Chains A and B, each alone.
Chain A
Amino acid sequence: MDALIEKLKGQIIEQLNLAEVKPEEINPDSPLFGEGLGLDSIDALELIVLLEKHYGIKIQDPKDGKTIFQSLRTMAEYIKSQGKS
């Protein structure tokens, strides 16, 4: 799980152009939206694209995004649960 979280950190920084954020600054349990990384609605769409592009996972119901993208750890757990890590 830790390796997947580290990989996701790099992918998120690249995909979301978080040029001023270092991987070690991202707490895997902090909220991705609002506080924490302070992502916005466009970033949410980019995360959906990231899952599809890198892990072949299509989120069928957008409502699931709220749970999946709660934190880096929930994202990694979801990828694992889909057998795609």
Chain B
Amino acid sequence: MSEIKSYAHIKNNQVLVNGEVVFQSDSSLALTEFLSEAYKALSVSYPKFHKMDAQCKLGFLCTEFALKGTNFLTENDLSKTAIVLSNAASSLETDRVHQHSIDDKSNYFPSPAVFVYTLPNITIGELAIKHKITGENAFFVSSQLDANLLVNYTQTLFQNGTEAAIIGWVEVDGDNFEGFIFLVQNTENINKNSIFKPLNETSVITIYNQNKWTH
């Protein structure tokens, strides 16, 4: 059996962990400024963060907030920890930045540091590098959060040697952004009184909707 141990949800310039607001900024802040403020609030030092594109920053922050205060990384074998992410826009936002850099043939300076992020699964790579996670990984593109797909795919992984997983939705498209990450791990017996939820579609939809947004 597997349980959802912790989750983080970022949108509307707010960060919620397990349903409670842990950080919020002025709702008028643009995405890049909000991400920068949230990074400062996290109190971690990871200079590579500043090199990431917005989608990776969002995925990184959402995962860090979900991990904070948990023993997820020390309790689990990171070679048997999977990362399964999804979104609707793929890497469209960074694709646009790259396109803009090559539009003008007289000022043609495509940036390798931008181009390297023109794939959505780079977000998985950034998480894997940061935490030395070497298990299975997959990135799905769907029009909206598909809890059924994420749960079924992850349960298949759990039947084949995976013992823990970082799962979620990391979407950036223009000014619209949303990160939703939940941590899942194997457990011997699910205690009915546990505060943790069993991994199934209903649980994922419940925690996705169970948030106390203040704006």
B112 close to A46 (CB less than 8 A): yes
In the assembled complex, A49 has its CB within 8 A of some CB on chain B? yes
Q: Which residues of A contact B50 (CB under 8 A)?
A: 17-20
**Least Cβ distance of B116 to chain A in Å?**
6
B113 close to A17 (CB less than 8 A): yes
**Least Cβ distance of B89 to chain A in Å?**
22
Contact residues on B (Cβ < 8 Å of other chain), bracket: 10 to 19
B51 close to A45 (CB less than 8 A): no
A20 close to B47 (CB less than 8 A): yes
**Least Cβ distance of B102 to chain A in Å?**
12
**Least Cβ distance of B50 to chain A in Å?**
4
B111 close to A46 (CB less than 8 A): yes
In the assembled complex, A42 has its CB within 8 A of some CB on chain B? yes
In the assembled complex, A16 has its CB within 8 A of some CB on chain B? yes
Question: B112-149: contact bitstring with A at CB < 8 Å (1 yes, 0 no)?
Answer: 11001000000000000000000000000000000000
Q: Which residues of B contact A43 (CB under 8 A)?
A: 113
Count residues on chain A whose CB falls below 8 Å from chain B CBs: 13
**Least Cβ distance of B178 to chain A in Å?**
24
Chain A, 50-69, CB within 8 A of any chain B CB? 52-53
B47 close to A18 (CB less than 8 A): yes
**Least Cβ distance of B31 to chain A in Å?**
16
Give the distance in Å from the alpha carbon of A17 to the alpha carbon of B52 in the complex. Answer: 9
Which of A17, A19, A20, A49 makes the CB contact (< 8 A) with B109?
Answer: A49
Q: Which residues of B contact A45 (CB under 8 A)?
A: 112-113
Interface residues of A (CB under 8 A from B): 16-21, 42-43, 45-46, 49, 52-53
Q: Offer 18 A-B interface pairs, CB within 8 angstroms, sorted by A.
A: A16-B113, A17-B113, A18-B47, A19-B47, A19-B50, A20-B47, A21-B47, A42-B51, A42-B112, A43-B113, A45-B112, A45-B113, A46-B111, A46-B112, A49-B109, A49-B111, A52-B109, A53-B109
Interface residues of B (CB under 8 A from A): 45, 47, 50-51, 109-113, 116
Top 8 nearest A-B pairs (CB, nearest first) are A45-B112, A19-B50, A17-B50, A17-B51, A20-B47, A53-B109, A46-B113, A42-B113
